[in-house]
Amino acid sequence: MGLLDLTAVELGRKIKAGDVTAVEAAKASLEQMRKYEDIIHAYVTIEEDRTLQQAENVQKQIEEGTLIGPLAGVPVAIKDNLCTQGMLTTCSSRILYNFVPSYTAEAVINLEKAGAVILGKTNMDEFAMGSTTELSAYGITRNPWNTDHVPGGSSGGSCAAVAAGECFYALGSDTGGSIRQPSSFCGVTGLKPTYGTVSRYGLVAYGSSLDQIGPVAKDVTDCATILEIIASYDKKDSTSISRADCDFTSALTDDVKGMRIGIPRDYMGEGLDAEVKDAVLQAAKVFKEKGAVVEEFDLSLIEYAIPAYYVIASAEASSNLSRFDGVKYGFRAKDYDGLHHMYKKSRSQGFGPEVKRRIMLGSFVLSSGYYDAYYLKALRTKALIKKAFDKAFETYDVILGPVAPSTAPKLGESLRDPLKMYLGDIYTISVNLAGLPGMTVPCGKDSKGLPIGLQLIGDCFKEKNIIRAGYAFEQTRTYEGPDMKMTRRESR
């Protein structure tokens, strides 16, 4: 087994033991990036010198004994909507083509304090709006399992980088499924924490009431370990929550005896690919064999989550993205007639079509005359969805289901019809509306050889339940990454 096959925690252990240095680990990742970035394109910004400098500093501190955490020296990739001081942060948008933040996102600071070595910034759908990573202003990312297919999105770069061995773990963000869905398509593990668990300070806002930062990695142990590091109460984020139960790794036990697991009947019906359904049911069987109580139930309301989400997320986006006006940072159009025209022209040339679509929709649903009928209606629907989950969690510890209706679609397929692309978020979106934690764990492959993911949803603040379930399930399989030599050959 090569260095790149190690999980983040395994590598951290080796670095601690002195078997590998942080510099060697960083070099191995950079070498893998050099080999495959021309076909995968998981990153939008790579700064080798910066990475190696940081690796040397971290290695020194490890040797001095000042850095002792489990991930000290382990190289990480950061989604490009997380601010990194002195390092380009574009949100994969033209409007931020030259933006160099003067501060670093709190979650990234937490990682750096724990000895993380940053490899670069990963590609995404512009401002995290999209499900395929084809909506980046800087080119598409390809799925390492099959380069004719999308990696999912919007954290497609982060998930493809982990799958391709171009980093040991990554940070993503999840507003409607943007960590869980690409994790499923790329065959990796990704966790969206309870809203408020990870500070959003320094995360470029899309839908503020839904956005959460979370880890992407090879297994559940990594995700729990990373989450333990990035979770923190932060006064700079007014929605940050002070939690006393952030010892997520304590839930890494292979024991689901008596755990009550519910499968929503509404998640398994029409529209779900037969192979995905089989894989999920197969997983349910594994949980049963391990002593969990698994049964089906009616969650209800799931078809209303998508329209409610697009109203709320677009409304918040239209407000959040008003800050991009060509004055303080980013792109400014040339040749304009006065201040307002400068704003309009800069925004029109700086934003891509999907971002404009959502800003328009958001502006509309917030406009007087439509506010009650659309925006407030969506917020009322959100309350009902939350209630439906509250009721489910009176009976179940964990909700089990698919992540997405299918495996990764072919490149170009999803973009033809935006509404159809939105429908692909049906199993992930309600989790954000209700603020719940959700995790993707790989559970198989379809007949085309593309990964299938399993979604585990927990009640608010009950990450430990889904970590325990995910860990127990994972013990029945071994992690499998794509054969990168095949990836190279097929893409020729």
Q: Which of 93, 131, 178, 314 is catalytic?
A: 178
- Cβ contact 389:460 at 8 Å: no
Nearer to another protein, 9 or 137 (CB): 137
Report the alpha-carbon distance of residue 239 to residue 98 in Å, rounded: 29
Which pair of structure tokens corresponds to residue 206? 């899309």
User: How near is the Cβ of 394 to another protein at its closest, in Å?
Assistant: 17
Report the alpha-carbon distance of residue 453 to residue 280 in Å, rounded: 8
Nearer to another protein, 64 or 337 (CB): 337
User: How near is the Cβ of 420 to another protein at its closest, in Å?
Assistant: 11
- Cβ contact 313:210 at 8 Å: yes
User: How near is the Cβ of 311 to another protein at its closest, in Å?
Assistant: 6
Q: Is 445 a catalytic residue?
A: no
Q: Is the dihedral of CA 339, 344, 345, 351 positive or negative?
A: positive
Nearer to another protein, 45 or 143 (CB): 45
User: How near is the Cβ of 301 to another protein at its closest, in Å?
Assistant: 8
User: How near is the Cβ of 377 to another protein at its closest, in Å?
Assistant: 5
- Cβ contact 144:164 at 8 Å: yes
- Cβ contact 398:458 at 8 Å: yes
Q: Is 79 a catalytic residue?
A: yes
Nearer to another protein, 257 or 328 (CB): 328
Task: Tell me how far apart the terminal alpha carbons of the chain are, to the nearest angstrom.
Answer: 27
Q: Is 154 a catalytic residue?
A: yes
- What is the DSSP code string of 101-130? -SS--HHHHHHHHTT-EEEEEE--SGGG--
User: How near is the Cβ of 103 to another protein at its closest, in Å?
Assistant: 8
User: How near is the Cβ of 486 to another protein at its closest, in Å?
Assistant: 39
The residue count for the chain: 492
Binding site for another protein (CB under 8 A): 98-100, 102, 195-196, 209, 235, 238-239, 241, 301, 303-304, 306-308, 310-311, 318, 322, 325-332, 336, 338-345, 347-348, 351, 356-357, 359-367, 374, 376-384, 386, 418-419, 434-435, 460
- Cβ contact 412:420 at 8 Å: no
- Cβ contact 262:296 at 8 Å: yes
| CA distances to 120, 235, 240 from 197, in Å | 24, 12, 6
DSSP 486: H
User: How near is the Cβ of 276 to another protein at its closest, in Å?
Assistant: 24
- Cβ contact 301:384 at 8 Å: yes
Nearest to 210 by CA among 221, 200, 201, 220: 200
Q: Which of 154, 232, 314, 430 is catalytic?
A: 154
Nearer to another protein, 68 or 360 (CB): 360
Q: Which of 14, 79, 192, 464 is catalytic?
A: 79
Report the alpha-carbon distance of residue 250 to residue 246 in Å, rounded: 9
Nearer to another protein, 242 or 476 (CB): 242
Q: Nearest-5° angle of CA 325, CA 130, CA 460?
A: 100
Which pair of structure tokens corresponds to residue 54? 């940081």
Nearer to another protein, 32 or 430 (CB): 430
- Cβ contact 21:73 at 8 Å: yes
| SS3 label, residue 316 | helix
Q: What are phi and psi of 473, to 5 degrees?
A: -65, -40
Q: Nearest-5° angle of CA 317, CA 201, CA 361?
A: 0
Nearer to another protein, 66 or 238 (CB): 238
User: How near is the Cβ of 379 to another protein at its closest, in Å?
Assistant: 3
- Cβ contact 155:131 at 8 Å: no
Nearer to another protein, 304 or 479 (CB): 304
Relative to beta strand 117-122, strand 169-174 is unpaired
Active site members: 79, 154, 178
